[in-house]
Structure 1
């Protein structure tokens, strides 16, 4: 082989290999940008509704931030020990095997990501339409259609009216934790992070601390201006806040919120393609979902599937019901991921652990996860029941399409022909072939 052909081959390999180009600052922006989307503009109402008082609501926001930090700290050990794309999917695959990994993949792809996108897009539509309907709620169907197009009043700081039911307190964390969702997104692209042993825990610590401070201070600002009754009655808390303080400039708030949520929708679409790719590499997702659009070099099939699934969730216009769906599924599966830390300490003590967390942190996280997933089954049986059914739907899919290896020849031919047909329609090619485009 000539020297020129060797150089050409090395260039091709360089084009298709993930390179560690992300710095610490890049990592911080990934986490902060992933977390701050729609949650802070939606969740204050849900948290206050379930807690009853402002002071307890603020405590939920602080505890949710600390809870996220502990989970992210545990992920730092997993991410530097198992350096594979897919984050918790890869951790569960290595620890508990393909079945539980597929269940996690199913939860994320079929429930968490599209449901989160539906919530963010609904928030976008509510804030865009609210200035046109200042005295009433925006029309429900119009809000859904727009979401589809998008794809020092200190007397309020009291413990009065605090709800004493443990079930309500547990449900309040679903809304609070939803706003912090995204702290684990840097783990999905850890292969592209420079010096992950140093930068991953630093990025997590700085980002989670920054977001927690911003969220708590934002809620303090809301409650210094709005009464608890006004927060509970508001469809768009930030708009009500702006109307009281900014007067003729109040229109700027829904514009900025709309920009934030619109960007978050794009962020969910972009990061989801990594998960589809990781699942397909393990043979647990259709090959088509790893393919790239030939002209735009984007994962068009994955984006389309995510968009279609999100539209399905838009048939439910109750944002807080959607948060309960995604909350139960998210924190149950992340709890299983954190369980990988003590499990691997026991089963595989020989693994290299550049970062080694004290076992008290994963144990505390797992106990808290049990609380916020088990207790709401009593308070919100319908939403959690639906969430459980969606999770269990992964079982027949796994055994029918993944575990069953000796499929009939005619079935495989149909799958192959369908894949080729969709490739032609969408103009997509296998990821490895993009180097020649």
Structure 2
């Protein structure tokens, strides 16, 4: 079995090592580190255990990303999980992967980031109370539309924005770290009181369910480790830059996350942290006083950069799935002048706005993690299969066999842990929604019914959006 790139149009290779690092770390450093610390601490019950969760989450993200780096050099096509499962397991399972990532995983991630942007941006205006949910949802929708517009107009501008916002986010997190160090210097007893070094693990919750939910929130903050695999065809020298960017980006983010959490705990007591709805704002109010609003703006801008990176890669998944015949043809087209997959980006925008209407941050993150890690496990089982059955395939980069096996075991735990101990009907709804894709797959993908109607719709949208098929030179 040989893996060859299709003859269809390739997107331009415009992403170098710096852009690759920015795309990964710039997407990871977003809403998570400003929204999840209180939830992680609430689930595990102690500061020591929460720091362990953050460190282990970084390690899991790194291991998984290195495995994906090998897959990205063996199957050097954009599309991430979808394209890997398609090439290894075939069309049927790939379709369910495409449906899940296009209609659940990516839109849920985009909606959660947009909500965090809105909550932090509005915190400046609602200093004494929480902003109304309608206002939050409207502000989140505006954020999604702004990012969608930028990505539709120019891929180059989207990458430049990613680099600029990465620098800004690193500076913000560095400021939080330094602020915690200064606070510690001024009051050395605070670390004993807040971090409770002598009894750092007192009160830790060891149940399977709470650990699983804590990892959901921790790993959410690292979501983005896989983004580069979604745009492999736009990456310069992927066999070199893919693994390098992964190691650099995730190591940087893990170190920053640990230091930022320590800073939070030196300034706030665990109780204050858990009760905070916007932990960076609470931190800012304690350290900066009347200038605490600056942290609201900084956190909102950080999440905006993460949203931009997620949108950039998420649109490509939809684009590649359509190019392979698993989505309507219109979604595989690109703008005739801008060379951006604008129909796929517009579709992603619409689905994300629909997800935004009923959801809240915590539940969206939990459903995102439950669904995503199920398919990450399937993808990594494909890597194990290739290592055993197809060792002759060229591998510019490879990882030890034990690495994907360990991550698969972790993925199984993450999927089953919250369901077994405290099952919730919402997880069943998500599963049934994914399985309902068979209703679409059998008649329209497998048997290709109603081609005439789809052709008419495609031609109309093609003219309206000024896009062309990707199997022609634009």
Matches within 5 A, 1:284-295: 284-294=326-336
**Deviation per residue, 1:103-153 (Å, 9 max, x gap):** 111111000111111101100110011122223221111111111122142
Residues 1:161 and 1:208: Cα distance change in structure 2 (over 3 Å): same
**Deviation per residue, 1:70-93 (Å, 9 max, x gap):** 101111211111111112211111
Aligned partners of 1:45 and 1:232 also within 8 Å: yes
Tell me which residue corresponds to 2:93: 100
Aligned partners of 1:38 and 1:257 also within 8 Å: yes
Match of 1:205 among 232, 236, 247: 247
Q: Does 2:466 align with 1:427?
A: yes
Q: What SS is found at the alignment partner of 2:124?
A: helix
Q: CA deviation at 1:390?
A: 2.5
In structure 2, how many angstroms separate the alpha carbons of the residues matched to 1:118 and 1:21? 27
Matches within 5 A, 1:358-369: 358-369=400-411
- Larger mean CA deviation between 114-123 and 382-391 belongs to 382-391
Tell me which residue corresponds to 1:156: 194
What residue ranges of structure 2 are gaps of 5+ in the alignment?
A: 1-8, 145-183, 185-189
Q: Does 2:172 align with 1:130?
A: no
Aligned partners of 1:140 and 1:317 also within 8 Å: no
Match of 2:104 among 111, 124, 133: 111
In structure 2, how many angstroms separate the alpha carbons of the residues matched to 1:309 and 1:134? 32
In structure 2, how many angstroms separate the alpha carbons of the residues matched to 1:144 and 1:19? 35
Aligned partners of 1:376 and 1:384 also within 8 Å: no
In structure 1, how many angstroms separate the alpha carbons of the residues matched to 2:336 and 2:17? 32
Matches within 5 A, 1:20-99: 20-99=13-92
Residues 1:267 and 1:22: Cα distance change in structure 2 (over 3 Å): closer
Tell me which residue corresponds to 2:167: none
Aligned partners of 1:65 and 1:212 also within 8 Å: yes
Aligned partners of 1:273 and 1:290 also within 8 Å: no
Q: CA deviation at 1:267?
A: 2.4
Please, what TM-score do these two structures have when normalized by structure 2?
Answer: 0.84
In structure 2, how many angstroms separate the alpha carbons of the residues matched to 1:213 and 1:201? 18
Q: Does 2:386 align with 1:344?
A: yes
In structure 1, how many angstroms separate the alpha carbons of the residues matched to 2:319 and 2:306? 20
- Larger mean CA deviation between 353-362 and 309-318 belongs to 309-318
Aligned partners of 1:61 and 1:176 also within 8 Å: yes
In structure 2, how many angstroms separate the alpha carbons of the residues matched to 1:383 and 1:223? 33
Aligned partners of 1:65 and 1:180 also within 8 Å: yes
Aligned partners of 1:111 and 1:390 also within 8 Å: no
In structure 1, how many angstroms separate the alpha carbons of the residues matched to 2:241 and 2:345? 29
Tell me which residue corresponds to 1:260: 302
**Deviation per residue, 1:303-347 (Å, 9 max, x gap):** 222122112212234211001110011111111111112111222
Q: What SS is found at the alignment partner of 1:246?
A: helix
CA-atom RMSD in angstroms? 1.9
Tell me which residue corresponds to 2:232: 190
In structure 2, how many angstroms separate the alpha carbons of the residues matched to 1:236 and 1:335? 32
Q: Does 2:441 align with 1:398?
A: yes
Q: CA deviation at 1:19?
A: 4.8
In structure 2, how many angstroms separate the alpha carbons of the residues matched to 1:208 and 1:338? 19
Please, what TM-score do these two structures have when normalized by structure 1?
Answer: 0.91
In structure 2, how many angstroms separate the alpha carbons of the residues matched to 1:349 and 1:377? 36
Tell me which residue corresponds to 1:11: none
Match of 2:221 among 179, 204, 212: 179
